[in-house]
Structure 1
Amino acid sequence: MMATTTSTAAPPGAVHSRKSAIAKERRRRNFIAATFIVPAFVLFCLFFVGPGVLGLAYSFTDYRGYGDFEFLGLENYRNLFADPAFYRALGRTFLYTGLTVPVGYFLALIVSALLVAKSAKGATIAQVIFFFPWLISPIVVGVIWRWLFGESFGLVNYLISSVGLTPLQWAQNPQLALVVVIIAGSWAGTAFNMLLFIAAMRNIPQSYLEAAELDGASPVKRFVRIIWPLLAPTSFMIVLLGTINSMKEFAMIQALNGGGPGNSNVLMVQYIYETGFESSKIGYASAASMILMLILMVIAFIQTRFDRSDLN
């Protein structure tokens, strides 16, 4: 006697009801997601897109921050590209970025490697101490380093004098003033970079390091051959964010030496600030802001393409 099996198909009504329930659940999730996204989108438009569009519109006018303004077309841009002060500020900004980003990167990398080492003692307390610069305002950072390198009252010159040497003119010498700015900028950016590196290092599988250790690889070789290459995505993010932040640096330098002595260390954002608010040339400063934004977009695009080419 043969047993026969019969397959029972679900009724059409049940299938339709299940599809409706799935669609209803999807709409509910989309609504919840939109509820969380909309406030961020509104703030983004309000504080980024809106001012950006307004700045772009002002860059084609002679707006001075008050009264009526006249449409000038590309005159602000032509005057900007003929201004030697603009090129000096832009060149100093690239110099500051080109020095600060690598110093901050390797400083954070070395500190992170020391803190995650198995033999490290008091790593938690050290992380809190090293993270302190990220908790304070850039203005406070500038004031701290201004006190440290003060010519007549600074700690650094006091230590130099205590060993019988001649105190240095940190505020009057343009090269020394730039050195102080680079040190302060590198110190301020190390904390956040350190946290990113530590998190990435702790996610590296220990089996890789244990296998290399069994093969006789020294700690330095394990770091150079295994840990550092695996930190490539984190390194890319740190370099990108560091480049953008350095190109936009303003508050720390303004509090430290105001771009001095004189105008010898004025960077792009300070140039924009002085032109727009001190000289009341809002339209001209807006044109400089648009150029800076375009430069940052190009840098971000190049770095992103470079990162993708490495991954491929």
Structure 2
Amino acid sequence: MRKAYSNKFVILSLVLPGILTFLFAILAPICLSIYYALTDFTGLGSYSFIGIENFKRLVGDEVFWLSLRDSLLLAAGFILIQHPLAIITAALLDRMGKHAEGFFRCVYFLPNVISVAIIAYLWKFIYNPNFGLLNNVIKVFGGKGDVNWLGTGTAIWAVLIVLIWHGFGWGMLIYYTGIKNIDPTLYEAAAIDGADNKKVFLRITLPLMKPVIQVNVTLAVITALKQMETVYLLTNGGPGNETQFMANYLYKQAFSSFQYGYGNSISVAFVSICIIATIILNRIFKEKAEA
């Protein structure tokens, strides 16, 4: 085995597929996107090189900044609402019996295995102003129950609730896996010392979960920035641009408005923001680890 791994041909055959995948599936599309962002390409026919004009337009595009705001608002919802609930749920699941643990793990993860289209249309019916479940529940408790949840003023919050709910299972499962990898003897020692559940969670579980939390938070920010399918099916950015998100706005500009060059400038900004967010989060967690 050692001889095989010291053979340059074997090493190359193992490394080359990964390198080729990176070059053709990641690096090449990014380079092409940067190139088209510097053109007035519409997706069809000829085009010309226009330099940084698309990026100048992007800086003054109010809808782009609105879409970025909504994406960051979703990221905050993931980090401040979804993840605390997910890690607490994961900790509670870890203390359940085998049958109950398996049952509730499946229940919480169930929305993630359902088609996004089904999820979107299900919530459209729940939010329906005429016969939706939510308005009917409000009527039961004496309210008017005539709110248009996907209308002006409430649409962004309605969409955020759906996205936070839909992604809960993934976050919970990652935290659950992290908790399962903690050495059980630490919990046994804490129990012998008389530590209650709150102290065990704060002094053992959370500190040892820092690497998992870092990964999950980084994924949450990137997921929020690239959120598209559910938004597209629920509101398509409406009413107006109230629920516009970066990925959805990119799609509309490139494929609905046939401004392919401008759409690629949005994609370059999107990748840049993801990289910057990842660097910032890594530094924040590194500083906390060193403190």
TM-score, length-normalised on structure 1? 0.85
Give 1:285 shift.
Answer: 1.2
User: Is 2:25 the counterpart of 1:25?
Assistant: no
Q: Report the counterpart of residue 15 of structure 1 in structure 2.
A: none
Rounded to whole Å, the distance in 1 between the matches of 2:195 and 2:238 is 49
Q: Report the counterpart of residue 169 of structure 1 in structure 2.
A: 148
Q: 2:123 aligns with which of 145, 148, 151?
A: 145
For 1:266-305, list aligned pairs within 5 A. Answer: 266-305=244-283
Give 1:103 shift.
Answer: 1.6
Identity over the aligned pairs, expressed in percent? 28
Instruction: Tell me the alpha carbon deviations over residues 70-109 of structure 1, each in whole angstroms, 9 at most, x when there is no partner.
Output: 1101111111112222222222222222223322211211
Q: Report the counterpart of residue 218 of structure 2 in structure 1.
A: 240
Rounded to whole Å, the distance in 2 between the matches of 1:32 and 1:147 is 57
Q: Report the counterpart of residue 92 of structure 1 in structure 2.
A: 70
The gaps in structure 1 that reach 5 residues or longer are 1-20
Give 1:188 shift.
Answer: 1.8
3-state SS of the aligned residue for 1:172?
coil
Give 1:210 shift.
Answer: 2.3
Give 1:136 shift.
Answer: 2.5
Give the paired residue count: 289
Q: 1:125 aligns with which of 74, 87, 103?
A: 103
TM-score, length-normalised on structure 2? 0.91
Rounded to whole Å, the distance in 2 between the matches of 1:229 and 1:78 is 45
Letter in 2 for 1:71: F
Q: 2:185 aligns with which of 207, 210, 213?
A: 207
Give 1:68 shift.
Answer: 0.7
Note if contact 1:201-1:231 (Cα within 8 Å) is conserved in structure 2.
yes
User: Is 2:232 the counterpart of 1:254?
Assistant: yes
Moved more, 94-103 or 263-272: 94-103
Q: Report the counterpart of residue 56 of structure 1 in structure 2.
A: 34
Rounded to whole Å, the distance in 1 between the matches of 2:10 and 2:122 is 46
Letter in 2 for 1:103: I
Instruction: Tell me the alpha carbon deviations over residues 30-69 of structure 1, each in whole angstroms, 9 at most, x when there is no partner.
Output: 6556545444443333332222111110011100001111
Note if contact 2:4-2:10 (Cα within 8 Å) is conserved in structure 1.
no
Note if contact 1:86-1:271 (Cα within 8 Å) is conserved in structure 2.
yes
**Are the structure 2 counterparts of residues 83 and 119 from structure 1 closer, same or farther at C-alpha, using a change threshold of 3 Å?**
same
Give 1:172 shift.
Answer: 1.3
